[in-house]
Amino acid sequence: MFLDKPVNEFQDEFWEIAGWFRRRWITRIANMTGKKVDPAFGVDIRSVKTSAGIGTYVSKINYELARSDLKKGRGGGSRTPFQILEDAIDNDHPNDRRLWREYVHASKRRHTITTSPYLKKQYPSNELSDEEIASQEQDGETELLIDNEIWLHLMRHHRPAIISLIHAQQHQDAEATFRVVARHIGWCRLDRGGDIPHIKTTTKRKRI
């Protein structure tokens, strides 16, 4: 719960909130099952006092909501999507494969966790979209330029070399980085004529 002011266990307001939830819980269980519920169980309300407490709770939310692959069905023949996938692999049953394909199709491009419009309105933040983050200028200094054609060729045909390239640039210098590239591409050269070293393509496209 997000409140307008701090509330802790030493205040009557805290116990009024806890009692409200507890009464709703007991009534709901009684209506569903016809059984009585001990007030000591079912509702656990605590005030968050430190950033560590917030972190612990947020981690629990992440586990409960985001890690849906670890959840299990509640019994009575119900299964989570990932239990269906597991059964489809283990038993090779066509109905399980069909159900899994249906789930993938229905959930494609849908968010697992979202914030309600009301919550966004009540507690506005400066959260940026993925597009806004990508468009922001990043701090740092350019140390080396690589022609797009060279980079794409490495990505498509020599992807493991990218790791060696980054490591050489971070821990050595432009010469070492160029040697990594030249081992895979024979049509490149290192140009030190400008302020920033530049690995360029040559007119001769002999590939090795």
Best-predicted range by mean pLDDT (36-45, 168-177, 196-205) = 168-177
* Residue 48 in domain: no
- pLDDT given for residue 56 in this prediction: 66
pLDDT band of residue 205 (cuts 50, 70, 90) is low
- Asked if 123 and 152 sit in the same domain, the reply is no
Location of structure tokens 């990043």:
138
- pLDDT given for residue 71 in this prediction: 57
Task: Identify the residue with better confidence: 133 or 71.
Answer: 133
Count of the separate structural domains present in the chain: 2
In angstroms, the Cα distances linking 16 to 107, 174, 179 are 39, 66, 70
* Residue 11 in domain: no
* Residue 172 in domain: yes
pLDDT over 90 for what percent of the chain?
13
* Residue 9 in domain: no
190 pLDDT above the threshold of 80 = yes
- Asked if 149 and 114 sit in the same domain, the reply is no
Mean pLDDT score, 182-193:
90
202 pLDDT above the threshold of 50 = yes
Name 198's bridge partners.
Answer: 145, 191
Please say which residue of 82, 97, 127 terminates a domain: 127
- pLDDT given for residue 207 in this prediction: 46
* Residue 25 in domain: no
179 pLDDT above the threshold of 90 = yes
* Residue 63 in domain: no
Side chain identity, residue 74: R
Residues 6+ apart with CB under 8 A from 96: 84, 85, 87, 88
- Asked if 122 and 156 sit in the same domain, the reply is no
22 pLDDT above the threshold of 80 = yes
Mean pLDDT score, 38-55:
73
Task: Identify the residue with better confidence: 179 or 36.
Answer: 179
Whole domain around residue 121: which residue ranges?
Answer: 71-127
First to last CA, the chain: 62
- pLDDT given for residue 75 in this prediction: 57
- Asked if 75 and 122 sit in the same domain, the reply is yes
197 pLDDT above the threshold of 80 = yes
- pLDDT given for residue 176 in this prediction: 92
Residues 6+ apart with CB under 8 A from 106: none
Task: Identify the residue with better confidence: 154 or 137.
Answer: 154
pLDDT band of residue 208 (cuts 50, 70, 90) is very low
Q: For residue range 98-110, what is the model confidence (pLDDT) as tens digits?
A: 998 899 888 888 8
